Amino acid sequence: MTNFYAIMDIPLLEAIMAVVESSTAIQTAELVGVAQPVVSTQLARLEGLLRLALVPSTGNRLRPTSEAPAFRLDVESAEHNRGPVVRADSALRRRAVLFQRQEALAHG
């Protein structure tokens, strides 16, 4: 199984969140702050990574599938919970550096 979070990037997540809030590729691009072709590319890449249709091609209109809002909720939940995980990771890294320094001093 592919580690989804290892290959995911923020612009892809922002694109799908904007799609759920808007109705056209142009509106989505404006929300995300990129050109419309970039949004199309991001959505296609996200769907490829997920192996899931989130926004089928229907011209300029974006009609998210029922999975798109559910995925958006998952992204929002992950973003909400990311803060404590990042802080814990940072604390662990600081401890590892301190341990390495202590080991170097003890054996150096």
What average pLDDT does the chain have?
76
Q: What is the CATH class of 4-107?
A: mainly alpha
Domain ranges of the chain: 4-107
Highest mean pLDDT among 29-38, 72-81, 94-103: 29-38
Q: pLDDT at residue 57 above 80?
A: no
In the structure, what pLDDT confidence band is assigned to residue 2 with cuts at 50, 70 and 90?
Answer: very low
Is-above-0.85 flag for pTM?
A: no
CA atoms within 13 A on the CB side of 2: 9
What does the alpha-carbon distance between residue 81 and residue 33 come to, in Å, rounded to a whole number? 25
Average pLDDT of the residues in 86-94: 61
Cβ neighbours, 10 Å, residue 22: 17
Secondary structure percentages of the chain, helix, strand, coil, to 5: 75, 5, 20
1 or 41: which leads in pLDDT = 41
Scan for tokens 């301190």, then name that residue. 98
Tokens of 84: 């404590």
How much is the pLDDT for 15? 84
How much is the pLDDT for 98? 72
Give 67: exposed, middle or buried? Use CB within 10 Å, 0-12, 13-18, 19+: middle
Average pLDDT of the residues in 65-78: 80
The widest CA-to-CA distance across the chain, in whole angstroms, is 67
